[in-house]
Amino acid sequence: MGNGGSGKSSVINLIKQCINNNDSADKPLMIDFNPWMFSKREDITRYFFDEISSAFGYKNRSKEDKMTAAKFRNYAKLLGVLEYAPTPFVSLPSKCLKNIFKRYEKYDRKSEKVSIMDIKNELSAHLIKTKKNIIVFIDDIDRLTNEEIREIFRLVRVNADFGKMIYVIAFDKHIVEKSFKKQGKEYLEKIIQVNVNVPFPSKERFSQFLYKELERVIKTLPASA
| pLDDT at residue 159, as a whole number | 76
DSSP readout, 161-176?
--TTEEEEE---HHHH
Domain assignment present for 163? yes
pLDDT tens-place string over residues 90-142: 444 444 444 444 444 444 444 445 567 777 888 888 888 877 788 999 998 88
* CA distance readout (Å), 153 to 45, 88, 192: 11, 15, 10
Domain assignment present for 214? no
Q: Compare 39 and 5 and report the one with higher pLDDT.
A: 5
pLDDT tens-place string over residues 166-195: 999 999 988 888 888 777 778 888 888 888
Domain assignment present for 209? no
Domain assignment present for 224? no
CATH number at residue 132: 3.40.50
pLDDT band at residue 37 using 50, 70 and 90 as cut-offs: confident
pLDDT band at residue 57 using 50, 70 and 90 as cut-offs: low
Domain count, the chain: 1
Helices (H) and strands (E) in the chain, counts: 9, 5
Q: What percent of the chain has a predicted confidence (pLDDT) above 90? A: 12
Q: Could you give the CA distance from residue 147 to residue 87 in angstroms, rounded to a whole number?
A: 18
Minimal CA–CA distance to 166: which of 52, 70, 9, 89? 52
- Domain residues for the domain of 137 are 8-200
| pLDDT at residue 167, as a whole number | 93
Range of lowest pLDDT (3-7, 115-119, 154-158): 115-119
pTM (global) more than 0.75: no
Which amino acid is present at 170?
Answer: A
Domain assignment present for 146? yes
Domain assignment present for 100? yes
pLDDT tens-place string over residues 75-99: 777 776 444 333 443 444 444 444 4
Domain assignment present for 52? yes
User: Residue length, the chain?
Assistant: 225
Please determine, for residue 17, whether its predicted confidence score (pLDDT) is greater than 70: yes
Domain assignment present for 223? no
